[in-house]
């Protein structure tokens, strides 16, 4: 009862499932609103124009649409996080699968809406195996940049997740000679 009064006092109306589905369809077509690598993503004028187009088609204000997009993205991210949390050795019954009706239709957000490299969400959303592989690949890259010699990479057949690096031995420390009085 209080929720409907609060909605009525702000002048907003509830979003029907059909309107949400239509909003998602329109959002997918306007990449500048969700794909961070899009050339117009940081262009406020283009983004506002896209929101205005959507507001005409949905009979909502651009602010209402912007808020709903924000809420949908947050809900989608939360569902993705839940799906990624798996217990080791858990059976198929124990793995979370989203039952949210708009989850699959928002899958276009998966790559484009993700946080920038090095952001907390980026590392939190990865499994421990993915993080280990990222760290190992960064170490390999660093070693290959530091040592001009050719490195040979061997991936043991028992585990695809671990990478062993073989290359030239590390440089030896220079011998320090005792100081002589001059």
Q: Which of 51-60, 79-88, 138-147 has the lowest mean pLDDT?
A: 138-147
Q: Where are the domains of the chain?
A: 2-86+95-125, 130-166
Mean pLDDT score of the chain: 70
| Span 146-173, pLDDT tens digits | 333 332 323 334 444 444 444 556 667 7
- Give the percent of the chain with pLDDT over 90: 28
CA distance 78 to 60: 26
Q: Taking the chain, what is the end-to-end CA distance rounded to the nearest angstrom?
A: 94
Residue 33, judged by CB atoms within 10 A of its CB (0-12, 13-18, 19+), counts as buried
Q: Tell me the average pLDDT across 85-91.
A: 65
| Span 45-57, pLDDT tens digits | 999 999 999 999 9
For position 10, what pLDDT does the model report?
A: 53
For position 22, what pLDDT does the model report?
A: 94
Q: How confident is the model at residue 178 (pLDDT cuts 50, 70, 90)?
A: confident
Q: Which of 11-15, 35-39, 54-58 has the lowest mean pLDDT?
A: 11-15
How many CB atoms within 10 Å of residue 72?
A: 20
Asked if 54 and 30 touch (Cβ cutoff 8 Å), the reply is yes
Is the pTM for the entire model greater than 0.85?
A: no
């Amino acid at each position: 009862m209080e929720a409907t009064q609060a909605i009525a006092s702000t002048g907003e109306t509830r979003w029907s499932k059909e309107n949400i589905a239509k909003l998602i369809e329109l959002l997918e077509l306007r990449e500048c609103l969700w794909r961070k690598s899009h050339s117009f993503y940081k262009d406020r004028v283009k983004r506002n124009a896209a929101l205005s187009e959507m507001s005409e088609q949905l009979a909502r204000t651009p602010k209402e649409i912007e808020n709903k997009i924000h809420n949908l993205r947050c809900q989608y991210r939360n569902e993705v996080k839940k799906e990624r949390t798996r217990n080791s050795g858990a059976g198929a019954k124990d793995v979370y699968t989203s039952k949210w009706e708009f989850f699959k239709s928002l899958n276009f957000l998966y790559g484009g809406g993700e946080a920038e490299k090095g952001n907390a969400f980026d590392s939190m959303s990865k499994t421990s195996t993915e993080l280990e592989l990222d760290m190992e690949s960064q170490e390999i890259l660093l070693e290959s940049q530091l040592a001009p010699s050719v490195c040979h990479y061997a991936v043991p057949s028992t585990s695809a997740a671990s990478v062993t690096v073989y290359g030239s031995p590390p440089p030896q420390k220079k011998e320090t000679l005792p100081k002589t009085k001059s």
